[in-house]
Structures are given as structure tokens and as C-alpha cells.
Structure 1
Amino acid sequence: MEPRMRIGELSRRTGVSPELLRAWEQRYGLLRPERSQGGFRLYSEADEGRVRRTTALISRGVSAAEAARQAATAGGSTPAPGRPDRPVVEVLAGELTQSMDRFDAVGANAVLDQLFGTVSVDYAIRHVLIPYLHELGDRWADGTVSVAQEHFASHLIRGRLLGLAGDWGARNQATSVLACLPGETHDLGLVMLGLLMTRRGWRVTFLGADTPLDRLAEPVPGLHPSLVVLGTYDARLFRSHRDAVARLATETRVAVAGPLDEREVATTGAELLIDDIAEAAERLRVDD
């Protein structure tokens, strides 16, 4: 008998969100699940193959409806499980870089529309946006892109991700507050961390860049968060607010995100998150 999988496993294998998989099943009949004795939908490797063919066609400019139609009727072997078809991500990542370098907001948003319509938000952040931003930072450092290009790309991506944040996981039970320390204006990394956290069971209250400590203190008693994440890229800023961080750490769990010294952070009673945003979110996963 052919192996079957739940929708979460199908999503993990293909990089397509469960919500989008359900939409493709309902709108286009792309998936043909069976029901378990408990009533759960169970999907086959043939379903996985049709999803992979659909995402590959979408990456070449075919509409979702036409891609699903072609994938549903096409034969051929099922691609190996693991990650989505590599050309999909590679093509979109390349087009994103080209659009950003040209200050082409329409083109960049079109690429992001296609990206988020093809793979999950989680996969897009991990495998496209984080690598792109790292490369952008390296290119800025060596002078191959301008400050204007770096700002344009960062602000455009930040706006799109905030649009995806929605209710910041309002239906989740575990509560967290995310904020940059006073004087820290770069919050894009914290936005990405918060989005990944919502997909791992957290309800996020996002306060953003340059958060005054008195404002940070206001919501914490009312929310009773399980976790407060403070972000900064500047070790001097952290040192200037060390005492306030230590006071906060006596009230709740505090984690600090940024390129800081782990021992120095530990003296406040806070913990330093790993530099890898995706891995940090995974380690903060709320236990089921």
C-alpha cells in the first residue's frame, strides 16, 4: 500500500503552506486525499508530486489555476522528498535581486507575490529572504550596492512581512513581547523572528524599533508574557541599558537578539539568542 502522510508533513516536504494546499485541493482538485479511521485527510506521494509540478510551473509564469490543471493531468515520476523544486526558489531569488537592484518596486512585489503563493512564509523567510539580506549586507560592505539600494530593499521587505504578520498569532496561548532597545532602529530581523515564532506557537506583541524603556515596561504587566525578546545590533546600546534589562529579567524570561557577548548578556539574567534567525525561532518553539 502506498505510504500516506498528514497535511503538515506534505507541507514540510514541499514548502507549501497547509492553507495553500487546502486551497489548491478545494479550488482545483489538485490533491486526492483518503480519510483515516479518525477522519484525518491522508495524502500520497502522488499528491506530493502534483504539488511539486504545480510550484515548478508557477515559477515559470504559469497561473496557479493552469499550473494545477497541468500538474493534475501530467504523468511522470514523483520528485524526491525534501525541499521544494530548487529551480523555483533559485529563479525567484534571482529575480528578486534584479528587481531590488533596479529600484523596481512593482517587479519586486510581483516576485514576492509569486514567492508567497508558491512556498510557505516559513520557507520563504528561511531560504530566500534571509540569504538575500545577508548577501545584500555583504554587497553593501564591499561597495557593490549603494546605501540607497540597501534601504530600498530592506524597507520593501519589511513592509511585506508586516503585512503578512496579521494578528501576530493572536490565537496562540504562549505570549511574547518583541522590541528593539532604545536607539536601535533596525528591526527587520526582529520582524522575521516574530513571524517565525507565530508559526511555532507564540502570540507576539511587536513593539518595533527604538522602543523607550518606559513604553516597554507598560505592556509587560498587563500581558504577563512568557518571554520578552530585546533586539540590538550595537553592544554599546546593550551596555547602556544593562540595568534595565536586568530588572526586566527578574520579572519574566528575557532573550536578547543581536551580535553580543553571551557572557555579558548572561550577567543580566537574560539569554542570548543564536545568530541564525530561523534556528533561534525553532529553539523557542512552544512545546505542543
Structure 2
Amino acid sequence: MSKHAALTLFPIRELVQRTGVNASTLRAWENRHGLLRPHRAESGHRLYGQDEVLRVRRVQELVAQGLNMSEIAGLLATDAPSGPPAAPVQTPPRAGAGEEFIAWQGYLEETLRALEDFSSERLDALYNEACAVYPIDLLTRRLLIPVLERLGERWDSRPSGIAEEHFFSAWLRNKLGARLHHTSGLPKGRPLILACLPGESHEIGLLLFALGALHRGYRLVYLGANVPIRQLADVAIRSFAAGIVLAGREPPDAERVLADLAWLAAEVRVPVCVGSHFSVRERDALLRDKLVLLGDDIVLGLDLLEARIAKTARNPARAA
């Protein structure tokens, strides 16, 4: 490193000041994802320059567009410097279970406070920071689902409880819309159809499932709340779908819903999957009619969906 170059370098605390990204996130971007390549002082401390400032800002832009860290690393790989790689960095030991629990509790409480204040800006900042450090499945399980549970527990005990739940739904819908827009030109195979059962107006769980599916590389046809089941057969044909996912808690006419689901499963040649509380309550009837049960655990449901679609792809003759 030249003497002039050394004079233009600065420690991580100044990179934090220039970019607004905290030091732990910057270290995670470097150690886990290889997004930063700091120089090393003789003392071993990291030193950064204007190139790192621009790179961090680019990462922030891509995170705001809904990309995950693996996608960002792939996009930035072509911009990597051609010189020799930086000296290897020892990844710090993982935080203990107690420390990790405290960190997630902090995210949860801050997210709930942002919802109470109806601040989409703070929600965005918390979500983007967590996405920069943790994979989306872990983020969903440890933050987004607990937020949803807390909203469900307190919606009737707070003066603005219903409004907070609707605000969270709208914010998730915007996140999904931004992600769908970003991936619209990136075909990755046949899409999934996602819809709420007839009479179901609460779509937060389905929105979380949709975001998880997008981060796993699926294309989506997202239809939202209160969708007539029998219309999905035509949607599946026209969109050349790989599968159909429906979710709901307690539809007003469960008997009619079960009959329509049985009809749909017999009509289409792709997996018809049912998630959320309805799939648990009506388990026996749904299994009898050859529906795929995803349960009410979003991350596990995504795993089950992937396994079923892979099985169908290997043996399409038995898809129905």
C-alpha cells in the first residue's frame, strides 16, 4: 500500500459514520458474505477507503430493493477488485444462546414500537439491517412470526390494535410488491399461485410465506385475500403454475371450502397445498382428498412445499 493511499484510509467507526450502517452489520457483510475487502494496518485493524463507502451504499440500495445477501454477493462479484485478495480474516465466534436471544428480543421490541408509531421508515431500517445479517428463513421464524403472534394476542386490548395489524399487512404487501417488481425480469421456472381461502381477509401469514418463497427463488402469482377456489384451475392453466398454495384460518363455510378444494385437487395436475390453521383443523378431510398439508409453521411449510414440487417434477405422471 502506498503512503498516499494509507493517508486516505480510515477505521470502521468512520465507515459507520459515513454510511449509517452499524459496525456489527459491516463485519457480517465482510465475514459471512465477502462483500467488503478492507486493508489491514500493521496492528491488524481494518482500514477502509472511499471504495468501501460506495460499495456499502450499493449494498444498501440492493437490500432496499429486496435482494438477499447471496444475490447481492453475486451481483457485486463482477465489480470485485482485480488485485490480490485481502488477508484472511478470522470469523468471530458465534454469540451464545443468551446473547442471540437478547438480540432477537431487541429486534422484536423495536419492530413493535415502530408499528405502534406507524413508522414505515423504522420498519424498513430494522428489516434491512436484519436481512443484512440473517438468512430470510431465520428472520421469518425469529422476528416476523413473533411480531405476527404479538399483534394477534393484543389486537383487541389496544386502542389501535386492529390498525397496527392492518399497517403491518400493508407494509409486508409493499415489501412483496417491491420484490415482485425486482424479480419480474428474472424467470426462474414455473410460478406458484398463492391465495387466501374464500372469506379469509387476513393475509399476513400468506404474505410472509410469499416473501420466503421469493427468497428461495420462486416466481409468484399472488392473488391475496378471499379468492374463489374454483377459479384457480383456470389460473393454473393460464400461468403454467408449478403449484397452488391456499391459506386461511376459519372460513365461514368450511364444508363448501372442503368440497371446492377436493374438486380443485382432482381438476389440476399440480400440487394443491393448504396452510395455516385450516390445514391443521381439517387435516383428516384434506388428506383424504389428496391435498398437501403445509401446517401453520411458515418455514416448515416452505420446506414441505419444496419437497413436494421436487417430487412432482421427478414424476409428473403422478402429480394429480
TM bin (shorter chain): 0.5 to 0.7
**Which amino acid is 2:273 matched to?**
A
Give per-residue Cα distances to partners, 1:182-219, cap 9 Å, x unaligned.
32222221122122234445433222112234642332
Please name the residue that 1:13 is paired with. Answer: none
Highest Rg: 1 or 2?
Answer: 2
Instruction: Give the TM-score normalised by the residue count of structure 2.
Output: 0.60
Unaligned runs of 5+ in 1: 1-15, 32-49, 51-62, 66-71
Aligned counterparts, 1:104-253, within 5 A? 104-143=119-158, 146-165=161-180, 166-167=182-183, 171-173=187-189, 175-200=191-216, 202-213=218-229, 215-250=231-266, 251-252=268-269, 253=271
Aligned length: 232
Pick aligned residue for 1:78 from 63, 68, 92? 92
TM superposition shift of 1:25 = 3.1
TM superposition shift of 1:129 = 0.7
Please name the residue that 1:282 is paired with. Answer: 303
Equivalent residue of 1:210, what SS? coil
For the residues of structure 2 that align with 1:238 and 1:197, how far apart are their CA atoms?
27
Cα separation, partners in 2 of 1:82 and 1:216, compared to 1, 3 Å: farther
Please name the residue that 1:29 is paired with. Answer: 37
For the residues of structure 1 that align with 2:219 and 2:213, how far apart are their CA atoms?
8
Cα separation, partners in 2 of 1:259 and 1:199, compared to 1, 3 Å: same
Please name the residue that 1:103 is paired with. Answer: 118
For the residues of structure 1 that align with 2:114 and 2:136, how far apart are their CA atoms?
20
TM superposition shift of 1:279 = 0.9
Please name the residue that 2:277 is paired with. Answer: 259
**Which amino acid is 2:107 matched to?**
L
For the residues of structure 2 that align with 1:121 and 1:216, how far apart are their CA atoms?
28
Instruction: Give the TM-score normalised by the residue count of structure 1.
Output: 0.65
The percent identity for this pair of structures is 25
Give per-residue Cα distances to partners, 1:235-254, cap 9 Å, x unaligned.
43442233322221012321
Contact 1:197–1:285 (CA under 8 A) maintained in structure 2: no
Unaligned runs of 5+ in 2: 1-24, 40-45, 47-54, 58-85, 312-320
RMSD: 3.8
Contact 1:174–1:201 (CA under 8 A) maintained in structure 2: no
Cα separation, partners in 2 of 1:247 and 1:168, compared to 1, 3 Å: farther
